[in-house]
């Protein structure tokens, strides 16, 4: 199996885990089910469009448009180890706070 095939399998496993009841159950008491569901929707939307999602825009969606506190969103990213989502999510935590596109 090639490295690309392994990366794709790992990515699909990550997406499957992210959409699982286990993922929701693990984080819903700390962050609420709504935050998790919105995150899942954005991940699926990114895959559907076949376009990576910038962390800055995901953060704006979760904090400004959906009303979650920015610190809560940051802590969620850290807890789920958002860097694992690198093929889908682009950027760093520092990018969340910049105003340039």
Q: Where are the alpha helices (DSSP H) in the chain?
A: 3-18, 21-31, 33-49, 55-60, 70-80
* Mean pLDDT score, 62-72: 95
pLDDT surpassing 70 at residue 97: no
pLDDT surpassing 80 at residue 61: yes
What does the pLDDT look like over 26-35, one tens digit per residue?
999 999 999 9
* Mean pLDDT score, 56-64: 95
Mean pLDDT of the chain: 91
> Can you tell me the distance from the alpha carbon of 36 to that of 82, in angstroms, rounded to the nearest whole number?
13
- The pLDDT value recorded for residue 70 is 94
- The pLDDT value recorded for residue 98 is 58
């Amino acid at each position: 199996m090639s490295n690309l095939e392994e990366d794709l399998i790992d990515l699909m496993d990550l997406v499957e885990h992210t959409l699982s009841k286990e993922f929701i159950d693990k984080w819903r008491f700390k962050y609420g089910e709504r935050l998790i569901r919105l995150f899942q929707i954005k991940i699926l939307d990114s895959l559907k469009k076949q376009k990576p999602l910038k962390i800055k825009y995901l953060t704006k969606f979760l904090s400004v448009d959906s009303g979650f506190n920015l610190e809560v969103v940051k802590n969620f990213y850290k807890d789920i180890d958002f860097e694992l989502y690198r093929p889908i999510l682009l950027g760093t935590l520092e990018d969340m706070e910049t105003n340039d596109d």
